[in-house]
Amino acid sequence: KIKRDLQEGKMNRKIDMIAVHCDANGNTKWGLKELDIFHRSEGYGGIGYHFWIDFEGKVHKTRPLNIKGCHVFDHNANSIGICLHGHSVFYHAQFKSLTTLLVELCKKYKLDTDRIFPHNYFTKIKPCPNFDLTHIKSEVANILQESFK
């Protein structure tokens, strides 16, 4: 049942926000397999984020967008979750890929950058994503503004 539930299908939910996370793991040998095992152990039926960005900046689609995520309590039904691999060290390639992905998603779902949130906006218990999104949101806004000229 879980495999069928996680298949790509018709979009039947309204996306009105994006939440940015980190996986709080700086292990270079840790990857999608380990993330999947961890999230399944938490009862998520697979990786709870829709996208995961590795240290090299490669964007991995980890959950179909038509399936609600498991990444922000009380906001999963209407959000997309993006996670960067890392804890306290992140790389330029990751931020570049995050910026590109955010631009694509904002265009697709007609979202303003004020609808991009760090995970810690919703819970003060965790510092996730462990970096300031201000500069990235500003860059996304500039790119979006240029694309409408």
Question: pLDDT tens digit string along 73-109?
Answer: 899 999 999 999 999 999 999 999 999 999 999 999 9
Q: pTM value? A: 0.91
Residue 127: asked if its preceding bond is cis (omega within 30°), the reply is no
88-97 long-range contacts, Cβ below 8 Å, gap at least 24? 88/26, 88/130, 89/26, 90/22, 90/130, 90/131, 91/55, 91/56, 91/57, 92/57, 93/55, 93/56, 93/57, 94/53, 94/54, 94/55, 94/57, 95/136, 96/57, 97/53, 97/57, 97/58, 97/59
Average confidence (pLDDT) over 123-144:
94
**Is the confidence at residue 40, as pLDDT, over 70?**
yes
Q: Any idea which of 1-5, 34-38, 68-72, 105-109 has the lowest mean pLDDT?
A: 1-5
